[in-house]
Amino acid sequence: MSRRRLLGSAGAAGATGLVLGAAGGATGYAATRTDEPTALTAVGSTQVMFHGKHQPGITTPLQARGHLVAFDLAPGAGRKEAAALMRRWSAVARRLMAGEAADSGAADGAAHDTGIALDAGPSSLTVTFGFGHTFFERTGLVGHRPPGLDPLPPFSSDHIDAKRSNGDLWVQIGADDALVAFHALRAVQKEAAPAAGVRWQMNGFNRSPGATAQPMTARNLMGQIDGTGNPKPAESDFDRRVFVPAGTDTKYDWLAGGSYAVVRRIRMLLDDWEKLPVERQEQVIGRRKKDGAPLSGGAETTAMDLDKAGPDGKLLIPDNAHARISSPEKNSGAAMLRRPFSYHDGISADGTPDAGLLFICWQADPLRGFVPVQRKLDRGDALSPFIRHEASGLFAVPGGAADGEYVGQRLLES
């Protein structure tokens, strides 16, 4: 039974009436309300497939809402309990991504569904699962822990809160509707008990689909276009950079087609940033704020000319500009697929916004992707005085589940 059918035609008609009433300045339902069901919009009807070579939520276009949540296995829980949990999580993720109720297989239909997303379509929902470094110790699978999951090195600019970092298990949820995303979050949290409990949770957002006249690269809370230099799926080396290939060591076969996710909660010091004139902000980033074009000229997608100088002989893209230091050209080709959410958690005790970026990047090997780039940024990025890394995590994300499988089955049943 779908979430949409659960509410029925009356609810759909009521929603239509609310929209018409608002348009007419009324406070209640419009007089033109009908009892005919309305079709889902394009945003609500978009469905991402759960089964596949790769897990969803990696190459899926950015969604409007997101939740990141890490779990620790409960005391006494091990491989058996973890396998049962991944089986439950995979089943509920598959149903919700198809627009079905979270518990549509129950004897009384969807009686146990929370009802949060009644009448909503799939709304591009994705649920992605990963394993942390400690997961392998807790499940007796240390021999299957890949070298790429070794802990990230410390960086001099880190202000890491250990309580909001790492974890045995990690779940990324994204959707183009806030209630659909929250519905999935609650379902995942409910299914975790009694095998695991929440270690930390973070909530994020992006621009809603259709909010701009044409699709465009997202902006972050600094107002900068963010993600221009991402590797593109159409590029010949995309899979090599983002996904783990099948290797010669059978101990790590479970990770083939998977990826590594580095997760960083990056606080933006917006009060300080917004004091800078736009021209200075552009020098810090190395790109124009209006359209994301490199300061060396052209449009957003024009390749940066890192050697181009102005009439005064100075480089147009400064030596310490963020775009220069993080570019593949300056990092021996190192690249990662950045897929973030912005966040805003209110006002801190000092009166400044607790806001910034839930940075998520995907790569086949973090020691060749995130780590060398962050080391270089750590040594002299002009953006560093305006940001603070406050939480961190690294997770091995298995390949996608085939039809009839659950995520991580090749590891947990090896």
Contact (Cβ atoms closer than 8 angstroms) between residue 145 and residue 133: yes
Same domain, 99 and 146: yes
Q: Span 55-73, mean pLDDT?
A: 97
> Do 96 and 128 belong together in one domain?
yes
Q: Are residues 84 and 127 in the same domain?
A: yes
Instruction: Please tell me whether residues 144 and 257 are part of one structural domain.
Output: yes
Q: Are residues 150 and 277 in the same domain?
A: yes
- Read off the pLDDT of residues 182-223 as tens digits, 9 standing for 90 and up: 999 999 999 999 999 999 999 999 999 989 888 899 999 999
* Mean pLDDT value across residues 345-358: 96
Mean pLDDT of 49-76: 98
Structure tokens at 31: 């007089």
CA neighbor of 266 nearest in space, from 340, 328, 327, 320: 340
* Mean pLDDT value across the chain: 90
Instruction: Provide mean pLDDT across the span 110-136.
Output: 91
**Strand ranges in 122-274 using DSSP code E only, listed in sequence order:** 126-131, 169-175, 196-205, 259-268
Range of the domain at 35: 1-39
Q: What is the pLDDT of residue 247?
A: 83
Q: Looking at residue 300, what is its pLDDT? A: 96
Burial of 18 (0-12, 13-18, 19+ CB in 10 A): middle
pLDDT above 50 (res 150):
yes
Per-residue model confidence (pLDDT) at position 253: 95
Q: Which of 226, 291, 365, 381 is catalytic?
A: 226
Predicted confidence at residue 36, as pLDDT, reads 54
Same domain, yes or no: 32 and 161: no
Kindly indicate the confidence band of residue 2, based on its pLDDT and cuts at 50, 70 and 90: low
Model pLDDT, residue 158: 94
pLDDT value at residue 317: 97
Q: By mean pLDDT, which of 20-29, 316-325, 363-372 is the weakest?
A: 20-29
What is the structure's pLDDT at 333? 85
Ramachandran region, residue 166 (left: φ > 0; alpha: ψ -120 to 50; beta: rest): left
Helix-strand-coil split of the chain, %, nearest 5: 30, 20, 50
Confidence check: pLDDT of 160 > 80: yes
35 or 182, higher pLDDT: 182
Statement to judge: residues 20 and 114 lie in one domain: no
Helix H or strand E segment including 391: strand 387-397
- Say if residue 29's pLDDT is above 50: no
Is 104's pLDDT higher than 80?
Answer: no
pLDDT value for 108: 44
Same structural domain, 305 and 336: yes
Segment 48-68 mean pLDDT: 97
**What is the band of 34 on the pLDDT scale with cuts at 50, 70, 90?**
very low
Q: Find, among 96, 90, 81, 82, the residue nearest to 55 by Cα.
A: 90
**In this model, does residue 414 exceed pLDDT 90?**
no
Contact in structure between 322 and 383 (CB atoms under 8 Å): yes
User: In the predicted model, is pLDDT for residue 25 greater than 50?
Assistant: no
CB 125 within 8 A of CB 175: yes
Mean pLDDT over 169-192 rounds to 98
**Residue 182 DSSP label:** H
> Are 211 and 199 within one domain?
yes
Identify whether residues 213 and 333 lie together within a single domain. Answer: yes
Among 21-25, 30-34, 60-64, name the most confident range. 60-64
pLDDT of residue 23: 35
Same-domain check for residues 3 and 111: no
Cβ–Cβ < 8 Å for 206, 64: yes
Task: Give the whole-angstrom CA distance, residue 263 versus residue 259.
Answer: 13
Give the residue-averaged pLDDT of 388-400. 98
Q: What is the pTM of this model?
A: 0.89
pLDDT tens digits for range 220-256: 999 999 999 999 999 999 999 999 999 878 999 999 9
* Crossing angle of helices 178-192 and 79-97, rounded to 10°: 160
Split at pLDDT 50, 70, 90, the class of 19 is very low
pLDDT digits (tens, 9 = 90+) for 288-340: 999 999 999 999 999 999 999 999 999 999 999 999 999 998 888 888 999 99
pLDDT of residue 41: 77
CA-CA distance, 287 to 299, in Å (whole number)? Answer: 10
Cα 330 from Cα 370, distance rounded (Å): 13
What residues have CB less than 8 Å from 31, skipping those under 6 apart?
Answer: none
Task: Give the integer Cα–Cα distance in Å for 399 and 376.
Answer: 30
The residue-averaged pLDDT of 95-115 equals 74
Provide the number of structural domains found in the chain.
Answer: 2
At residue 103, the pLDDT reads: 82
Query: How many residues make up the chain in this entry?
Result: 414
**Any residues with CB less than 8 A from the CB of 319 and at least 6 apart, and which?**
380
**Mean per-residue pLDDT for 327-356?**
94
| Known catalytic residue at 226 | yes
In this structure, the answer to whether residues 129 and 3 fall within a common structural domain is no
List the alpha helices (DSSP H) in 79-215.
79-97, 135-138, 178-192
